[in-house]
Structure 1
Amino acid sequence: MNNNETFQQVSFVEIDPELAGQRIDNFLKTHLKGVPKSMIYRILRKGEVRVNKKRIKPEYKLQAHDVIRVPPIRVSDAPEPVNVKLDKVAVMQDYIIYEDDRIMVINKPSGLAVHGGSGLSFGLIEGLRALRPDAKFMELVHRIDRDTSGILLVAKRRSALRHLHEQLRDKKMQKRYHALVWGQWPENRFKVKAPLLKNVLKSGERIVNVNPEGKPSETRYRVLQAFAQTTLVEASPITGRTHQIRVHCLHAGFPIGGDPKYNDIDGNAQLATQGLKRLFLHAHSLSFIHPKTLEQVTFKAPYDEQLTNIIAKLST
């Protein structure tokens, strides 16, 4: 046996009611940290994992008080990549706007991916799990782009995640973003409706275009503040497509300042000289029904220093 592996004995796990509804394969990925996905699906396929003494398929959804037999398996003792980034984990405490036993509300900085993947071993959710090692459950309710800052909602119980996902599906969750766009956004232009088609390049980069064959998409807008060459607008996405606000702003003729992907004018360099080194798109507020109290709540995320300073300079 390799020195960096240990041999786990057969174990039996009773499912907490909070985990009811989770797929068995997803449960095992969390329960057997460090075990490759291929091995998890192999032990499921071979029937080595049993639920209530019966063979099950990977898509089986767990029920409260199910008893899972987990077979002996070699688990790497090597620490996960997130564990060596203790400084990045510690600073995440400062990102938390609100937390209780059901939810966590985060003010995500620009440049931080919400999860690892695509060459990234470390993301926001991995860091939060390391920050709260005793938390049995922690999942993103929704996502925002890596370059976008602002409000992000995390569920700390599966029941809370289901409740919040229902609100997303029923369009009962209101997201409001602030964007600094080039040009004078008309006061009477309140929405952009344009179908969006996502393409993934060979490099893995995602590019979204307005295309008649794309998915129906709508964003509502209102002007917050007008400047000499730019406008600060509030954008409320009715649909939740990838890069929706960025592409809709460009389609309307008002690309977002600091956007390296969907900005076809030379103004980014001008804003950079004034201190803007990032995309000016910020998830400013989020309104939803709290899964425990069932009351309507609204959370707001303040701008970071860069966004605050650029608005101050434009206002003078």
Structure 2
Amino acid sequence: MSSKRVLVTGGLGFIGSHTVVALQNEGFEVVIIDNLSNSSIDVLGGITQITGKTPEFENIDLRDKSAVKSFFEKYPDIEDVIHFAASKAVGESVSNPLLYYENNISTLVYLLQELNKKESSRFIFSSSCTVYGQADNLPITEDAPVKEAESPYGNTKQIGEEIIKDTCKTKNSFKAISLRYFNPVGAHPTAEIGELPIGTPQNLIPFITQTAIGKRNKLSVFGDDYPTADGTAVRDYIHVMDLAEAHVHALERLINGKEKNNYEVFNLGTGKGNSVLEVINSFEKVSGEKLAYQIVGRREGDITAAYADTIKANTELNWKANRSLDDALKSAWKWQLVVKNREEEDH
């Protein structure tokens, strides 16, 4: 039996921290690597509050190849890695592509080089539905063509998947799964951890909650002339706890030898699309807050609609998204209120 110790890179980030909670709840011992560039050490306390266990933590920048090597020398028993650590803002990737290629590609290579030295190892990669671009057909299946990326960020996900796939071809005992997320939202129901964007949020939900709390003047809705029911763009919003649990299912699939190939890909979403206006309406309903928003022009690089075909993940991973959009928005709002209280206490 494989060691139950798992490395989670970027484990203090939004999806990483919720996945650490899900892993610890299933009895895994977790070691987190995070360089705190887009996260806070306080998240460690939140994880401990929820699970009653503090994961081991190493403050390492994965761009430092020798530090990655030293880490695996310190933890020789680690054969399982869930890799979240990456820069993820589409706009920033357009203005600073080299940062993204260094941070998202070289770090992946350094991790794989160390895992390649082991007799056997397992790797879960945090990928994205951005690899599909504007898909020809909806819902999007895993067989949909990977389109030329709209941004350096999207390109790093495509290249990352190719690097992992090529590595799998050279070694049967190296097994990997790429999980293509749709739009992760929400927070842990305890509101001990949640999404904490540094600076101006790049994603819809934190922008909504920050507007409702008074931190932002108003929310911009980018475009109301899309060919959708209400003219606003449609996305598949998945609760972060559902997403986190999928990583545990994926890892157990590899540990138990249930994979069909040593490289597999799964879409993670709800299978349902919601428009921006539907999300706003849902938020207003669960929070009781009226949201100040304005319709503005479309944003460059945005697609009309994307939602997942989840049949493969439902059947092969024995997993499905169980929480609703209302659940996700309610938890995000609860988390925003906690963050506001903390900020007020700090002042």
TM range (shorter): under 0.3
Which has the higher relative contact order, 1 or 2, with Cα contacts under 8 A spaced 6 or more apart? 2
Q: Normalising by the residue count of structure 1, what TM-score does the alignment of the two structures yield?
A: 0.25
Larger radius of gyration: 1
